[in-house]
Chains A and B, each alone.
Chain A
């Protein structure tokens, strides 16, 4: 009997010892396949960079292609597998994450693009609106017609923010520029994106931007020799000479920050109620570029340098300089430069932000209006 007890005690001690050395187990749940070249691919690049950053201190795993209503079942499995931190990357995982978080109070959850929190659930988002504004500057300078096209997934606040930012940028370079929008009502729809791109170009657009999860728009635009923009990760390989710039994400900056704070005990399972990451250029969560480190692709730099405008803030300036100036301003902080700074009117002539008004995070997250220069249908538009 004593022997059994002793070996039991030894086992318990062993369990404790290994528990001490166990790396923090971090799980990622993706809504698409990691090979989608879009949202999930970008998250997985972030996961890999995070793993590399922490080395043996953490162990990351991922599950892909998880349907939104099934996320709870996957969380069950991941917790059974010993996950300490679980990141669910899709808005539609919210109900499942919040329900599971109650059931597993000892696990820390991150809800990507989420809108509500709990003691053990934080939310995080890397937002592109500033980068779209920069792309707008570039697009207007590259366009001969002044007609730009935009293929958009859903008329949600995030995408509206992107389109508005893009349009504000375009009009800063060319006050007559117009951005025609086509909605896909889908995140992943290559056929629909092809059709939308063709229609936009048939109506005169000669530069195309997009918010959806495929490189389709770039490819279709390139067939006509028109420039496009990378989304999430480098899409240069899909149209080597036609990707002018783009919006790139570095989810790892957010993941690393969160996990550092989990490891040093700042974040626990009881104090995340108010932890919401909405990271921008300033925090390095997003980047302007056709590929990392290349803000404007080489062949297009000269095109931008040739377009010199008379700018109210910078005087005579070429657009390449303007793009870099604006990027560096925003990288210093929203208070240095904010594209949506008041006064701002919507396209129906309503004053949405008073002169000198700095839109809050709430304002940005609930943006429903369209700025002047946006052309096309717009759901839930304030009249």
Chain B
């Protein structure tokens, strides 16, 4: 008698990864279409309008990329941390700290104009890296769970920003509203034309992705990171310095999120603003970016663009399709749900199993990663 059995797959092939990921997105789109239909909006017409306004329209496209920039930087950093199975949930806080540090430079440090922007990025990177240091040390020295510590530090960062804009850094020209004063022109990033696309941060994001990919693939450090992630026991046996490697990878991961924060204040807000406005959950969405990219830094650029597009589509749904604002969140949730739900397909497979034979789990497919 033959039955069906679930068993673990080996590393899935690239084709399978792509197929399943795109399949998940397709299922989500189908669900979205049904949702639209339920609201009396013709799904295909809706799709046409969304594509027309977000991809075919120059300004709409610029908004997609603009939203993807912080997701790229924070997401690329997370791919590195996740490779070593350091579950950094603190990108949101690290992003905010980078923004705070950059705003501090912009508001209070008198530098020659050309140095202001580079100084903001450097200081933002360092401050965010330092913010990540605590959880890293606690994890490698005391074994404290980094999911908890990085997550909790997000709230500390949120309240720090809130305190600053309500207290010592509150602007003088805003009838008491909680924003800092506007940065000087030297502290504001250039954009492409009249769009809000602050291209220097975009360039930085692409460079960061290339750098992280290179680190992982071509350096001893990268090899150690991968080994720590895939087989900590083997890494220990091989003499990997967990302390040093963890510290470096967390500094880079948190620092990248910090750069995203610098880009947001210097490119979009031009002042320090309430944390809820500063980052609309970019640090959390970046987790999805990194996981969806299967912890591949270069792929994170693509997944960041995809999630940036989903967010930008939300505006169109509200304005052009007259859907309620809550539907944006529902659609985004649907996309993420489908992607996460598809995950087991990559890890497990159904086999027709005669009672006696058990396929050895490692016998499946070629190595993909």
Contacts and interface: CB of A to CB of B under 8 A. Distances in A.
Interface of A: 33, 61, 63-70, 72-74, 76-78, 80-81, 91-92, 95, 102-103, 115, 154-158, 160, 185, 365-366, 368, 379-380
Nearest to B175: A157
Contacts of B326: 33, 65
Interface of B: 53, 57, 59-60, 63, 162, 166-167, 174-179, 182, 194, 196, 268-270, 273-274, 276-278, 280, 312, 315-316, 318-320, 322, 324-326
Contacts of B280: 67, 69-70
Given A63-B325, A76-B63, A380 B177 contact: no
B176 A76 contact: no
A80 B49 CA distance: 11
A70 B264 CA distance: 12
Given A33-B325, A68-B273, A185-B166, A78 B319 contact: yes
16 contacts: A63-B318, A63-B325, A64-B318, A66-B325, A68-B274, A68-B277, A70-B280, A76-B59, A77-B318, A80-B53, A81-B319, A92-B273, A95-B182, A154-B166, A155-B176, A185-B178
A157 B176 contact: yes
A154 B176 contact: yes
A157 B177 CA distance: 8
Given A65-B325, A68-B277, A77-B53, A95 B176 contact: no
A80 B316 CA distance: 10
A61 B322 contact: yes
B172 to A, nearest CB: 10
A102 B179 CA distance: 23
B69 to A, nearest CB: 13
Given A63-B325, A73-B63, A77-B315, 11 more contacts: A61-B319, A66-B325, A67-B280, A68-B277, A69-B277, A69-B280, A73-B312, A74-B319, A76-B63, A157-B176, A365-B175
Contacts of B278: 69
B5 to A, nearest CB: 48
Question: Shortest 7 CB-CB distances between A and B: which pairs?
Answer: A156-B176, A77-B319, A65-B325, A157-B175, A68-B277, A64-B325, A63-B318
Contact of A92 (B175, B177, B320): B177
Contacts of B269: 69, 95
A301 B59 CA distance: 58
Contact of B277 (A33, A67, A156): A67
A74 B315 contact: yes
Name which of A77, A95, A157 has the most chain B CB atoms within 10 A of its CB: A77
Contacts of B59: 76
Nearest to A69: B277
Given A33-B325, A78-B319, A80-B53, A115 B175 contact: yes
